[in-house]
């Protein structure tokens, strides 16, 4: 059994009453392992047929699965192809309960390492905008990698405090997710080190920061927009009390129902000191003795439209008098490329490469900075003074009349969106050699006479680039992403 702090046990006994003993017994059970399918690349049904894992559906998350530890999915080529994200089952719930539609402007305010941001980005399907933020620079780097592996084309990855973002994005987002930094009480079984680091003052300290974060998040919502607040803790100070604080401070915010599941528990107004506020029962708690997952809390809020405003929300959640999605040119239409200031050689290199790319894109969104080429979502507009790691999709770099495509472009493509691809089965030993950065022989694939940039795929899903010369594929897989020699 996980060793639990005595003060924590006393608090949970008071919170749960008759359910406490059953709750305590759940810590004798092993943790659950989960993965969430990237629906931007593959459907859950297709994944079930393809993946060689022991999969069981997570009943309350439509693209979530339990797997067995022996499956080791983090070392499988499909993981490197971005077909899924490894995530604790309960932690999948918040992003699954925030109704994001293609075209929305979405903010994940505390996004690293990317478990929720990647799901929100997949829901957008390349339309609209995802701003994924984390105040930690090192954690934001991990966030960026996960967003790139998932093939998300329309992300702005930032590294700013919430107040700074709120100054730049007042009333801007249709949907905001706040998975707030917390005392982590719900993760004690998954990570006993969290239990050892806990002390009874931590929930109160966390709550002060959470109230500031959720207030800033509300500032950034459009009227009619939705805010989902979540934590992985049981503490009422960090959960219902934070929601009650926001509702008292902001008369334009209201709690709404979250799509339910039979294992969900209602919020605890009494534990938070708000027994008369029955609305707090609309909050959702996940307990490990009721569901096959760790502890979690969620609350879904909506910003009210101004009094007398008759605007109706569209399917995407945006008001009709609000913004419209920027139109994109069809594949192969290079409108806007002629307006980019380039030397003749650089222009020829860019045109030559992208004549073989069939991804839907708009060159009016292109920016070139020091030879590096980006597609920047126009929905972002001009934002100055925000520290960021990536603005849009990095396409690659122009080097002396040559264009070298990026790893992020490879991950954003489908196999049929590039003219030249090499497709190998995941059981082919060359896949692992490629992921380790080795040169591989592909003459058996009929590539002995071909040359140039090739999109390397596993079972039809891109992994990265290689350059073909006389049947040998020179490895262009991102050096920082390569597997170690011991990895599988």
Catalytic member of 182, 232, 283, 457: 232
Among candidate residues 128, 91, 117, the one with its CA nearest the CA of residue 38: 117
Contact 253, 303 (CB under 8 A): yes
| Cis? peptide before 113, omega within 30° of 0 | yes
H or E stretch covering 202: helix 202-219
d(CA 364, CA 392): 13
At 428, list the tokens.
Answer: 């082919």
* Annotation marks residue 182 as catalytic: no
d(CA 234, CA 26): 15
d(CA 450, CA 271): 69
Using only the alpha carbons of the chain, give its radius of gyration.
Answer: 24
Among candidate residues 165, 300, 132, the one with its CA nearest the CA of residue 230: 300
Instruction: Note the Cα 199 to chain centre separation in Å.
Output: 30
Among candidate residues 325, 327, 354, 326, the one with its CA nearest the CA of residue 338: 354
Residues making up the chain, counted from first to last: 488
CA angle at 106 for the pair 109 and 392, rounded to the nearest 5°: 95
Q: Distances from the Cα of 382 to the Cαs of 87, 126, 376, 378, 460, in angstroms?
A: 34, 20, 11, 9, 37
Q: Distances from the Cα of 435 to the Cαs of 52, 123, 410, 427, in angstroms?
A: 19, 28, 14, 13
SS3 string of 436-486?
CCCCEECHHHCCCCCCEEEEEEECCEEEEEEEEECCEEEECCCHHHCCCCC
d(CA 233, CA 197): 14
d(CA 107, CA 121): 10
d(CA 374, CA 335): 15
Task: Give me the helices (H) in 62-201, please.
Answer: 77-80, 93-97, 115-124, 137-149, 162-168, 192-197
Contact 417, 463 (CB under 8 A): no
Q: What is the DSSP string of 240-258?
A: HHHHHHHHHH-TTEEEEPP
Q: Which residues are catalytic?
A: 232
């Amino acid at each position: 059994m996980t060793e639990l702090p005595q003060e924590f046990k006393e608090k949970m006994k008071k919170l749960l009453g008759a359910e406490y003993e059953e709750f305590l017994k759940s810590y004798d059970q092993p943790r659950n392992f989960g993965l969430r399918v990237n629906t931007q690349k593959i459907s859950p049904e297709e994944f079930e047929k393809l993946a060689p894992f022991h999969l069981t559906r997570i009943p309350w998350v439509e693209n979530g699965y339990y797997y067995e530890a022996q499956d080791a999915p983090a070392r499988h080529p499909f993981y490197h192809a971005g077909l899924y994200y490894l995530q604790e089952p309960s932690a999948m719930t918040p992003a699954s309960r925030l109704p994001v539609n293609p075209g929305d402007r979405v903010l994940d305010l505390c996004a690293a390492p990317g478990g929720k941001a990647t799901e929100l980005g997949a829901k957008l399907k390349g339309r609209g905008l995802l701003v994924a933020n984390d105040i930690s620079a090192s954690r934001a780097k991990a966030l960026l990698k996960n967003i790139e592996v998932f093939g998300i084309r329309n992300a702005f990855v930032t590294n700013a405090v919430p107040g700074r973002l709120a100054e730049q994005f007042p009333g801007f987002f249709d949907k905001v997710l706040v998975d707030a930094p917390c005392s982590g009480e719900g993760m004690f079984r998954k990570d006993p080190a969290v239990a050892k680091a806990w002390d009874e003052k931590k929930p109160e300290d966390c709550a002060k920061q959470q109230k500031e974060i959720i207030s800033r998040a509300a500032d950034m919502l459009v009227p009619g927009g939705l805010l989902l607040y979540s934590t992985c803790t049981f503490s009422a100070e960090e959960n219902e009390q934070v929601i009650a604080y926001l509702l008292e401070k902001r008369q334009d915010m209201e709690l709404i129902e979250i799509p339910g599941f039979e294992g969900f528990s209602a919020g605890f107004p009494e534990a938070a000191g708000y027994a008369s506020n029955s609305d707090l029962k609309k909050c959702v708690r996940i307990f490990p003795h009721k569901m096959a997952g760790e502890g979690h809390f969620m609350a879904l809020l909506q910003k009210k439209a101004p009094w007398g405003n008759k605007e109706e929300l569209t399917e995407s959640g945006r008001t009709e008098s609000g913004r419209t999605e920027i139109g994109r040119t069809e594949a192969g239409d290079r409108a806007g490329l002629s307006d980019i200031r380039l030397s003749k050689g650089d222009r020829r290199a860019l045109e030559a490469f992208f004549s073989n790319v069939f991804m839907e894109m708009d060159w009016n969104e292109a920016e070139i900075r020091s030879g590096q080429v980006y597609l920047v979502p126009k929905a972002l507009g001009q934002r100055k003074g925000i520290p960021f790691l990536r603005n849009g999709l990095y396409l690659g770099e122009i080097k002396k009349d040559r264009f070298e495509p990026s790893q992020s472009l490879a991950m954003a493509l489908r196999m049929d969106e590039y003219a030249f691809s090499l497709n190998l089965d995941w059981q082919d030993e060359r896949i692992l050699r490629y992921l380790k950065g080795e040169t591989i022989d592909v003459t058996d694939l009929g590539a002995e006479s071909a040359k140039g940039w090739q999109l390397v795929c596993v079972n039809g899903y891109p992994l990265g680039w290689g350059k073909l010369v006389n049947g040998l594929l020179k490895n262009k897989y991102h050096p920082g992403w390569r597997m170690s020699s011991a990895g599988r």
